């Protein structure tokens, strides 16, 4: 990230009235939540996340997939929002028409001060029946772990949050049975090969179509249709500002590329956009 690029992005943000903030796994990396494509650790090292996050994987081995998501959910529970999440909340507080759209299944935007992000890929905290779709209660949590996961810079493959404080139940775990029909309960996330929730997708497309700035943060922009959201904004003439330590397929459509971790770049961007505000 260089000064001129930050200044250019800050001008765009300060002029915006209806920004969209579009976030991916990199947004939560500095909270210690592993990005989806990061190396897995411990028991899970043997598995490719892209092969666990499918309906076929759940049908073939529900305990394996449920156990993986429970491990991830407990890791998120131990994590805290980072300064990037708080900077997004500061943008939303400054510009009330801001729409935050996330591909993340953690709850760090909410805990960081954005009460209702548009969730394109569901949530780790909304399990439902795999057959009748009835919402299911969250399993009661295990005793609190030793402490929060260690933060990291997020730019390199790293040990995941789950691995810092492995717990007794870290591994395959039978999913609960639905109270209505007895079928296995599944995580309330969108798996590869599944449709995105249509209300969320419609809300995201509408916001991207009407925005006057799209800030894309911490996404590899490889997973469609979510990755099309910044393209929708760009096609309709909104400037796109990207925050990511490394290049992505979105680089070419971006007005400004801010190379760096979200937890540092976003607070700096907020401070540069509104130097007189005590936020960020
Ligand atoms: N700050 C900003 N960006 C970061 C940081 C950081 N500290 N650390 C890593 N990144 C970037 C990486 O460079 C990468 O481009 O975050 C991106 C993470 O990419 P993915 O792991 O592919 O995550 P994401 O784009 O959210 O994946 C989309 O794919 O697997 C599915 O459903 C899953 O929602 C996920 C979707």
Tell me if 244 CB under 6 Å of ligand 1: yes
Full 3-state SS string of 129-191: ECCCCCECCCCCCCCCCCCCCCCCCCCCCCCCHHHHCCCCCCCCCCCCECCCCCCEEECCECC
| Per-residue pLDDT tens over the stretch 1-47 | 569 999 999 999 999 999 999 999 999 999 999 877 776 767 788 88
| Per-residue pLDDT tens over the stretch 90-139 | 999 999 999 999 999 999 999 999 999 999 999 999 999 999 999 999 98
* pLDDT level of residue 279 (50, 70, 90 thresholds): low
For 210, half-sphere exposure in the C-beta direction (CA atoms, 13 angstrom radius) is 10
DSSP 8-class letter at 278: S
**pLDDT mean across residues, the chain:** 88
Tell how far the Cα of 180 is from the centroid of ligand 1, in angstroms. Answer: 36
Tell how far the Cα of 17 is from the centroid of ligand 1, in angstroms. Answer: 27
Tell me if 26 CB under 6 Å of ligand 1: yes
CA-nearest residue, atom 4 of ligand 1: 26
Of residues 149 and 58, the one with the higher pLDDT is 58
CA-nearest residue, atom 17 of ligand 1: 219
Q: What is the pTM of this model?
A: 0.90
CA-nearest residue, atom 23 of ligand 1: 25
From CA 49, how far away is CA 154, in angstroms rounded? 18
Tell me if 103 CB under 6 Å of ligand 1: yes
From CA 75, how far away is CA 164, in angstroms rounded? 9
Residue 94's nearest CA partner among 14, 20, 23 is: 14
| Per-residue pLDDT tens over the stretch 149-163 | 333 333 322 223 333
> How confident is the model over 202-216, as a mean pLDDT?
98
**182: number of Cβ within 10 Å:** 10
Residue 219's nearest CA partner among 241, 248, 197 is: 248
Using an 8 Å Cβ cutoff, are 6 and 215 in contact? no
Tell me if 215 CB under 6 Å of ligand 1: no
DSSP 245-277: SS--TTGGG-SEEE-S-HHHHHHHHHHHH-TTS
Active site residues per annotation: 121
CA-nearest residue, atom 32 of ligand 1: 121
């Amino acid at each position: 990230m260089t000064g001129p690029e930050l200044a250019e992005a800050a001008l765009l943000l300060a002029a915006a009235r209806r920004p969209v903030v579009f976030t991916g796994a990199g947004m939560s990396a500095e909270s210690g939540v592993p990005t989806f494509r990061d190396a897995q650790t411990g028991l899970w090292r043997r598995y490719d996340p892209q092969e666990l996050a499918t309906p076929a994987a759940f049908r073939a081995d529900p305990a394996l997939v449920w156990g993986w998501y429970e491990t991830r959910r407990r890791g998120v529970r131990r994590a805290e929002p980072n300064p990037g999440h708080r900077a997004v909340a500061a943008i939303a507080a400054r510009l009330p028409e801001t729409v935050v759209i996330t591909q993340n299944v953690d709850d760090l935007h909410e805990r960081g001060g954005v009460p209702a992000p548009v969730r394109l890929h569901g949530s780790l905290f909304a399990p439902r029946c795999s057959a009748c779709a009835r919402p299911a209660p969250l399993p009661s949590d295990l005793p609190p772990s030793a402490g929060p996961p260690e933060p990291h810079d997020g730019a390199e493959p790293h040990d995941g949050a789950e691995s810092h404080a492995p717990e007794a139940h870290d591994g395959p775990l039978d999913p609960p049975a639905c109270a209505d029909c007895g079928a296995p309960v599944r995580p309330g996330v969108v798996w590869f090969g599944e449709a995105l929730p249509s209300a969320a997708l419609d809300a995201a497309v509408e916001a991207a179509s009407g925005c006057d700035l799209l800030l894309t943060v911490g996404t590899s922009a490889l997973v469609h249709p979510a990755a099309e959201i910044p393209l929708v904004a760009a096609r309709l003439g909104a400037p796109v500002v990207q925050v990511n330590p490394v290049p992505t397929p979105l680089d070419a459509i971006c007005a400004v590329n801010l190379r760096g971790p979200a937890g540092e770049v976003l607070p700096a961007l907020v401070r540069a956009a509104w130097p007189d505000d005590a936020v960020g």
